[in-house]
Amino acid sequence: MPCMCLLPKTLVFIDFFWKHIMAQSALNGSCLCGSVKFEITPPLAAFRYCHCTRCQKASGSAHAANAFVPAAQFKWTAGEALIKRFPLPGAQRFAVWFCTQCGSRVPHEIPSRGELLVPAGLIDNAPADMTRPQNSIFWASRAAWYVPPGEMPCFNEYT
């Protein structure tokens, strides 16, 4: 009969390995058409929902879901030359970077912070235990029609 005395220690190691080592596996992301691709080495520096009116307009939604990644943990893997920047006239700190093939917003560097802003919806292989959004910013500017997801029915398909 095999020795079972090491089984608990083995299970603890496997649990540690999956939670701490594999959690450091790269996150891959891409635009809608797949022409622009990137890789992130976790962990994320921050993850926020932004409800400012500029993010509402740029995303066409109630808010932007923005992940922030230290520049040293980010690399382009394809299509960087396809990225264009739209500087909002009169804005000192707001511009939109997008793929010229499909129009998707794409990551961009925030030089003053040494980070990149990554639209979280672009991450292709986000694990179930990925960092969750920590907060919502510019809450007072949220869309008047916005209802937090916990306050309405949710469905897995069109109804």
Q: Looking at the domain assignment, is residue 81 inside a domain?
A: yes
Q: Looking at the domain assignment, is residue 18 inside a domain?
A: no
How far, in Å, CA of 95 to CA of 59, rounded?
12
Q: Looking at the domain assignment, is residue 123 inside a domain?
A: yes
- The predicted-structure confidence for 128-155, as pLDDT tens digits, reads as follows 888 889 999 999 999 999 998 889 898 9
Q: What angle do CA 12, 15, 21 make, to 5 degrees?
A: 120
**Containing structural domain, residue 44:** 26-145
Local structure of residue 105 (DSSP, 8 states): B
Local structure of residue 113 (DSSP, 8 states): T
Tallying the residues shown for the chain, one arrives at 159
Q: Predicted confidence band at 62 (pLDDT cuts at 50, 70, 90)?
A: very high
Number of domains making up the chain: 1
Q: Predicted confidence band at 14 (pLDDT cuts at 50, 70, 90)?
A: very low
114's CB contacts (< 8 A; 6+ apart) are: 70, 71
CATH of residue 132's domain is: 2.170.150.70
- pTM of the entire predicted model: 0.80
Q: Is 138 left (phi over 0), alpha (psi -120 to 50) or beta?
A: left
- The predicted-structure confidence for 101-113, as pLDDT tens digits, reads as follows 999 999 999 989 9
